[in-house]
Structure 1
Amino acid sequence: MVDAITDENYNEETQDGVVLTDFWATWCGPCKMQSPVIEQLAKERQDVRFTAMDVDENPETAKNLGIMAIPTLIIKKDGQIVDRLTGYTPKAKLDAILDQYTD
């Protein structure tokens, strides 16, 4: 399951463990390609928490993180950003990247 998060709860919701946040917008074509990949990985991986944030509804976090293009995927481990991917990322590549941060 992919949890929707907001500007108000981003820091709290991404503090513990490995968390991937998909920054997206409804009008973004590549975001529509990325979302099913995130949904599939969320079903397959119990070692990562998957979240998503609509940048149009929550502009502050995207601004604070310097997100200039979407989709942008930010991976945090124990509250610290460990990776950032911009543009569509295929499932196999994203799965391999996540493996680097899980035990």
Structure 2
Amino acid sequence: MRKILVLIFTLISFNCFAVEKTTTFTNEIFNKAQLEGKTVVINSWEKSCTTCKRQIKILDQAENEFKDVLFLSFEQTKDKDIAKQLDIDYWTTIVVYKNNKEVHRSIGQTNKAKIYELIKS
């Protein structure tokens, strides 16, 4: 009985960390933004990843503050074709594009000031 209770508690705990996010990345949106010279921030995440959840909170705040930046995201395990296209191997990857070029790539960063600096520079 004790093992069953531990298992139930563990499963409930993992669900508490699940990310409430959807994939917003499409080639059409990304390519159009690149043609327009926009700054694009792409976030790769996984719904049960706690680091991803912290990144998403920061990027959601950044999206409200950086009105001229396009924020796109995708779920790493579901959207493997996007991950392959962008050469992203890890769930917690943030990639910044400016003027049609990748200018920054960060893996596992959860420091708000550092993430904002990536976006600004």
State the TM-score, normalized to the length of structure 2: 0.69
More helix by share: 2
Return the letter of the residue paired with 1:65. L
In structure 1, list runs of 5 or more residues that go unmatched: none
3-state SS of paired residue (1:4): coil
Higher strand share: 1
1:79-98 CA-to-partner distances (Å, cap 9, x unmatched) read 21111000133111111222
Structure 2 distance, partners of 1:59, 1:22, is 13
Say which structure, 1 or 2, has more relative contact order (CA 8 Å, 6+ apart).
1
* Letter matched to residue 42 of structure 1: E
Seq. identity, %: 27
d(CA) in 1 for partners of 2:62 and 2:92?
16
Consecutive unaligned residues in structure 2, runs of 5 or more: 1-21
| Alpha-carbon separation, structure 1, partners of 2:23 and 2:69 | 12
For residue 68 of structure 1, report the CA deviation from its aligned partner: 2.0
Q: Deviations over 1:43-98 (max 9, x none)?
A: 11113111111122210121233322221001011321111000133111111222
Q: 1:33 to 1:41 in 2, by over 3 A?
A: same
Q: Does 1:4 align with 2:24?
A: yes
Q: Please show how residues 58-97 of structure 1 align to structure 2 within 5 Å.
A: 58-97=79-118
Aligned residues: 98
From 29, 34, 45, the counterpart of 1:24: 45
CA contact (8 A) 1:72 1:85 kept: yes
CA distance in 2 between partners of 1:3 and 1:39 (Å) = 14
